[in-house]
């Protein structure tokens, strides 16, 4: 157990140690002139980028305002959706399908296309049988790169608005998008993929193998070019695994070393982006305060989950067996309870959604912490979009503290007025609205129409009864709205009701929280810059950090408390 | 929107080539130098492949170290956990039944010494490992069936115990397939 704790400490320490230089590097990447070198280590990639701009028909020097940038973002996203949907719908008849897997049904293809388009990676199928090598690489892995880059590019647009010298132009979406791939995501993915491959993760295109075991059973073994995809699914806060059980699978996550590398990859870029903000807009203290608030929140969620998992399941203890390793249902021996609890919190903090243990089987406290993590969705957060969510809370905090001290609310030298505040409030309320309303609808359906003649009868949706069953539904919509992608996988979710409702929640939960902050940023950037004076409320202090934390706690935590009380908390108190 | 459709299509095609063709082929190419050539490492006994080193398999016979319960019966064509919640009454009955079975097959073992990993299903359903304690509690049974001394088996488990990474990070584990292959080779 001691070495398990050391492993977790090492993972977090290494992440921060790597994130500090990476943040500096990322700021340089985005600051660089698009057609010239940025003075960073990967300048040799510049010719490749020029080739991509030329073949793509993009003028990298063109400056666009926030509306043009959003139109560019939405247009290319729409195209990806159509492309992904039809590929999945016809994958069974397309090449690179050595295992002979079938095409997806229209509702499953709709859900899958949206889920990967919005960087959520909720999976209502299992990778071994639900996809082909073609769709794994050309749809799933492709979207894992480009949607992560989309989030990062949107974030840079907001960064640009926070710089003092900016007017109404926020830069060029395409440039930030391409550079995010060529200079950040692709090089890091290559490193991680090779570490995985040399530790036993398959990377070749060979199909499923059949073996006769020592005990003379005949079983199959699924394989495929998995290493490359697993790398970007971890780094891009995507989370959709090659195999059905994600990084609990011994080929997707072969040993403790790969587990450390994969888990570090989950929060590396999200933390680095906070530091990048400090360098990019030249406000390092503000970045430190933001990092501090996020880290305190992260730890407050992690430790209860850690203690719950290593203490084990009280109901198993009652049966009289020993739990020296903690709660082991749904967990792997080579990873252990502590590393699984840590993964559970990193993956829900960041909208990653990959898992290395089955969250459905974890203790109620862990379930509660994971859901709360996604309900807040701003402690580190997804690549790019995590900061956008935090930005909304910052605006609300600025406004509230401005009112409390009786001054006009200002953020980084620009007045926050009614219009920005309306957008921020709507975005902040959207998240609880999506989660709670959809969970209410599914609960109503389950109770009142248990025998409806659908592919899966509502009465058979749940894998567990009572409080835990409710948690399965609450978790699914929380994960969808937060674009996380992890699940209480016992839920029978591959049917029209869940594919459709989750798909809707996914779209709203992705694009509105991108459009809102970019719009706020665009509006702020158009305003006159007022230099900070003694009359300005400073936003880079511990006091302001505390106010931000309080705002997050009040908006996110309290609006979800009743739902959590019905699910995991009730289960916790009833578990003896 | 119209002005952005052209770049959207062209950029997508270019990036598909880079990210979905070149990148995975580069990884696959370099991985041919990895153990197992990027196809997964196998274990061979007398010229016959008996399994993948990292993919667990079912060992239910008393003469072998038994692997953990699995929700997919160790068929690695798929993967899966039980997804049973900790308070689920039916699930707890299943665990109780596994405890009873274990006690019946391992007379002399006290219930409070059974590590819970032996009566709970793993996350993947393909867990290749046991903890050292999970292996050692089965020694008395195997020693009796095979007529090998318990000391020798203890030594075997120790030889096949892989400690924490660098001696510092993570749990200790015993690869069930490898220890059973070695067990068959003992006499």
pLDDT (average), residues A84-109: 91
C-alpha B135/C-alpha B153 separation (Å) is 10
Q: Across A64-114, where does the E strand assignment appear? A: none
Nearest to B19 among A128, A141, A225 (CB): A141
C-alpha A420/C-alpha A427 separation (Å) is 11
Exposure string over B36-50, b if 16+ CB within 10 A, otherwise e: bbbbbbbbeeeeeeb
Whether A64 and chain B come into contact, CB under 8 Å, resolves to no
Report CB contact under 8 Å: B77, A259. no
Q: Which of A446, A435, A431, A432 has its CA nearest to residue A497?
A: A446
**Chain A residues close to B35, C-beta within 8 Å:** 198, 200
Chain B: nearest CA to A459, how far in angstroms?
17
C-alpha B91/C-alpha B98 separation (Å) is 11
Which of left, alpha, beta for A291 (phi over 0: left; psi -120 to 50: alpha)?
alpha
Residue A70, token pair as written in the block: 């959003």
C-alpha A155/C-alpha B72 separation (Å) is 42
Q: What is the pLDDT, as a whole number, of residue A33?
A: 58
DSSP SS3 for A269: helix
Residue A390, token pair as written in the block: 């935090």
Residue A516, token pair as written in the block: 């809102």
Report CB contact under 8 Å: B171, A335. yes
C-alpha A168/C-alpha A20 separation (Å) is 31
pLDDT in tens, A530-547: 887 777 788 888 888 999
Q: What is the pLDDT, as a whole number, of residue A35?
A: 47
Q: Which of A555, A166, A170, A168 has its CA nearest to residue A395?
A: A555
Q: What is the pLDDT, as a whole number, of residue A39?
A: 59
Look up tokens 């993009």; give the residue. Answer: A58
Which of left, alpha, beta for A237 (phi over 0: left; psi -120 to 50: alpha)?
left
- Rounded CA Rg of chain B: 23
DSSP SS3 for A20: helix
Q: Are strands A209-212 and A218-221 parallel, antiparallel or unpaired?
A: antiparallel
> Is residue B20 domain-resident?
no
Report CB contact under 8 Å: A7, B45. no
The chain-wide mean pLDDT, for chain A, equals 89
Look up tokens 């939405």; give the residue. Answer: A74
Asked whether the beta carbons of A414 and A530 are under 8 A apart, the reply is: yes
> Is residue B45 domain-resident?
no
pLDDT in tens, A110-164: 989 988 888 888 888 888 888 999 999 999 999 999 999 998 998 898 888 887 6
DSSP SS3 for A62: coil
* CA closest to B61 among chain A residues: A215
Q: Which of A172, A120, A187, A122 has its CA nearest to residue A147?
A: A120
Q: At what angle do helices A66-89 and A106-117 cross, to 10 degrees?
A: 140
DSSP SS3 for A64: coil
Does ipTM surpass 0.90 in this model? Answer: yes
Residue B122: give the domain boundaries.
54-185
What is the pTM (predicted TM-score) of this model?
0.93
> Is residue B16 domain-resident?
no
> Is residue B8 domain-resident?
no
Residue A265, token pair as written in the block: 């990859």
Nearest-5° Cα angle at A345, A341 to A348: 135
- How many domains would you assign to chain B? 1
Report CB contact under 8 Å: B86, A330. no
What distances in angstroms separate CA B183 from CA A573, B69, B150, B186, B187, one per listed residue? 46, 21, 12, 5, 8
Long-range CB contact pairs, A33-38, < 8 A, 24+? A34/A60, A34/A61, A34/A172, A34/A175, A34/A179, A35/A60, A35/A61
> Is residue B176 domain-resident?
yes
> Is residue B164 domain-resident?
yes
pLDDT in tens, A16-50: 999 999 999 999 998 875 545 555 667 788 889 99
Residue A137, token pair as written in the block: 């690489």
A206 contacts: CB under 8 Å, gap ≥ 6? A98, A223, A224, B39
DSSP SS3 for B15: helix
Judged by average pLDDT, the poorest of A185-199, A289-303, A395-409 is A395-409
Q: Percent of chain A scored above 70 by pLDDT?
A: 97
Per-residue pLDDT of chain B (187 residues), as tens digits, is 678 888 999 999 999 999 999 999 999 999 999 998 889 899 999 888 999 999 999 999 999 999 999 999 999 888 888 999 999 999 999 999 999 999 999 998 999 999 999 999 999 999 999 999 999 999 999 999 999 999 999 999 999 999 999 989 999 999 999 999 999 998 6
pLDDT in tens, B82-106: 999 999 999 999 999 999 999 999 9
C-alpha A335/C-alpha A354 separation (Å) is 15
* CA closest to A48 among chain B residues: B18
C-alpha A350/C-alpha A239 separation (Å) is 10
Task: Find which of B6, B170, B181 to mutate to test the A interface (most A CBs within 10 Å of its CB).
Answer: B170
C-alpha B44/C-alpha A245 separation (Å) is 27
Look up tokens 């640009």; give the residue. Answer: A160
Q: What is the pLDDT, as a whole number, of residue A166?
A: 58
pLDDT tier at A409, thresholds 50, 70, 90: confident
Q: Are strands B161-162 and B173-175 parallel, antiparallel or unpaired?
A: antiparallel
DSSP SS3 for A436: helix
Report CB contact under 8 Å: A248, B170. no
Nearest to A56 among B11, B74, B173 (CB): B11
Report CB contact under 8 Å: B129, A217. no
| Per-residue pLDDT at A12 exceeds 80 | yes
C-alpha A528/C-alpha A166 separation (Å) is 10
**Phi and psi of B33, rounded to 5°?**
-90, -5
Q: Which of A511, A365, A170, A6 has its CA nearest to residue B165?
A: A6
Report CB contact under 8 Å: B170, A259. yes
> Is residue B7 domain-resident?
no
pLDDT (average), residues A98-112: 90
Q: What is the pLDDT, as a whole number, of residue B148?
A: 93
Residue A108, token pair as written in the block: 């499953």
Report CB contact under 8 Å: B7, A202. no
pLDDT tier at A332, thresholds 50, 70, 90: very high
> Is residue B67 domain-resident?
yes
Task: Find which of B85, B126, B134, B160 to mutate to test the A interface (most A CBs within 10 Å of its CB).
Answer: B85
Look up tokens 């010719």; give the residue. Answer: A47
Report CB contact under 8 Å: A362, B86. yes
Q: Which of A350, A294, A312, A346 has its CA nearest to residue A552?
A: A294
**Other beta carbons less than 10 A from residue B105's beta carbon:** 13
C-alpha B37/C-alpha B56 separation (Å) is 20
Q: What is the pLDDT, as a whole number, of residue A175?
A: 93
């Amino acid at each position: 157990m001691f070495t398990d704790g050391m492993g977790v400490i090492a993972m977090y320490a290494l992440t921060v140690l790597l994130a500090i230089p990476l943040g500096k590097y990322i700021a340089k990447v985005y600051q660089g002139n698009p057609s010239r070198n940025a003075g960073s280590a990967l300048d040799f990639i510049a010719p490749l980028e020029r080739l991509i701009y030329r073949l793509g028909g993009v003028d990298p020097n063109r400056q666009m305002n926030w509306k043009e940038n959003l139109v560019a973002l939405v247009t290319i996203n729409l195209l990806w959706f159509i492309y992904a949907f039809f590929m999945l719908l016809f994958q069974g008849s397309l090449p690179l399908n050595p295992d002979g897997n079938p095409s997806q049904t229209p509702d499953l293809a709709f859900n899958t296309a949206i889920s990967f388009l919005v960087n959520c990676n909720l999976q209502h199928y299992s990778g071994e049988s639900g996809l082909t090598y073609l769709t794994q690489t050309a749809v799933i892995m492709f979207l894992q790169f480009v949607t992560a880059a989309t989030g990062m590019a949107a974030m840079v647009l907001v960064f640009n608005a926070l710089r003092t010298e900016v007017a109404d132009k926020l830069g060029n979406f395409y440039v930030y998008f391409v550079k995010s791939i060529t200079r950040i995501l692709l090089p890091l993915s290559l490193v991680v993929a090779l570490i995985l491959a040399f530790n036993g993760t398959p990377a070749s295109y060979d199909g499923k193998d059949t073996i006769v075991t020592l005990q003379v059973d005949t079983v199959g073994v699924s394989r495929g070019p998995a290493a490359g995809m697993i790398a970007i699914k971890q780094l891009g806060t995507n989370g959709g695994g090659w195999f059905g059980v994600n990084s609990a699978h011994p080929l997707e996550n072969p040993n403790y070393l790969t587990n450390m590398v994969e888990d570090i990859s989950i929060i590396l870029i999200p933390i680095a982006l906070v530091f990048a903000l400090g360098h990019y807009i030249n406000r390092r203290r503000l970045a430190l305060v933001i990092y501090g608030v996020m880290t305190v929140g992260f730890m407050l969620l992690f430790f209860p989950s850690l203690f719950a998992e290593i203490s084990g399941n009280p109901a198993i203890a009652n049966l009289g067996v020993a739990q020296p390793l903690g709660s082991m249902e749904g967990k792997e021996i080579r990873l252990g309870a502590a590393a699984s609890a840590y993964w559970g919190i990193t993956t829900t903090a960041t909208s990653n959604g990959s898992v290395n243990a089955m969250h459905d089987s974890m203790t109620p406290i862990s379930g509660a912490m994971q859901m709360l993590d996604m309900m807040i969705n701003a402690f580190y957060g997804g690549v790019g979009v995590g900061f956008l969510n935090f930005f909304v809370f910052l605006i609300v905090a600025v406004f509230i503290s401005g009112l409390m001290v009786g001054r006009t609310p200002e953020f980084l030298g620009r007045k926050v007025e009614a219009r920005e505040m309306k957008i921020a409030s709507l975005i902040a309320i959207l998240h609880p609205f999506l989660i709670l309303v959809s969970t209410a609808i599914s609960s109503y359906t389950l109770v009142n129409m248990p025998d409806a003649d659908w592919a899966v009868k509502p009465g058979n949706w749940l894998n567990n009864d009572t409080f835990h069953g409710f948690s399965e539904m609450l978790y699914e919509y929380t994960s969808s709205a937060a674009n996380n992608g992890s699940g209480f996988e016992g839920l029978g979710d591959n049917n029209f009701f869940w594919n459709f409702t989750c798909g809707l929640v996914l779209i709203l939960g992705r694009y509105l929280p991108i459009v809102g902050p970019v719009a706020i940023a665009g509006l702020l950037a158009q305003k006159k810059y007022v230099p900070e004076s003694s009359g300005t409320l400073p936003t880079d202090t511990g006091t302001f950090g505390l106010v931000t934390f309080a705002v997050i706690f009040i908006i996110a935590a309290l609006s979800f408390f009743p739902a959590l009380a019905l699910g995991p908390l009730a289960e916790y108190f009833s578990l003896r | 929107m119209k002005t952005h459709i052209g770049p959207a299509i062209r950029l997508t095609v270019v990036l598909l080539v880079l990210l979905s063709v070149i990148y995975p082929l580069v990884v696959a190419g370099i991985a041919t130098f990895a153990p197992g050539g990027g196809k997964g490492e196998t274990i061979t006994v007398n010229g016959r492949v008996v399994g993948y080193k990292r993919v667990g398999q079912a060992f239910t016979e008393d003469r072998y170290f038994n692997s953990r319960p699995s929700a997919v019966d160790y068929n690695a064509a798929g993967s899966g956990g039980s997804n049973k919640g900790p308070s689920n009454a039916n699930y707890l009955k299943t665990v109780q039944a596994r405890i009873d079975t274990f006690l019946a097959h391992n007379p002399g073992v006290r219930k409070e010494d059974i590590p819970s990993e032996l009566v709970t299903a793993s996350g993947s359903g393909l867990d290749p490992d046991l903890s050292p304690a999970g292996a050692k509690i089965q020694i008395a049974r195997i020693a009796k069936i095979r007529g090998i001394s318990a000391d020798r088996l203890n030594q075997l488990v120790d030889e096949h115990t892989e400690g924490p990474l660098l001696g510092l990070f993570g749990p200790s584990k015993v690869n069930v397939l490898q220890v059973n292959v070695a067990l068959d080779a003992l006499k």
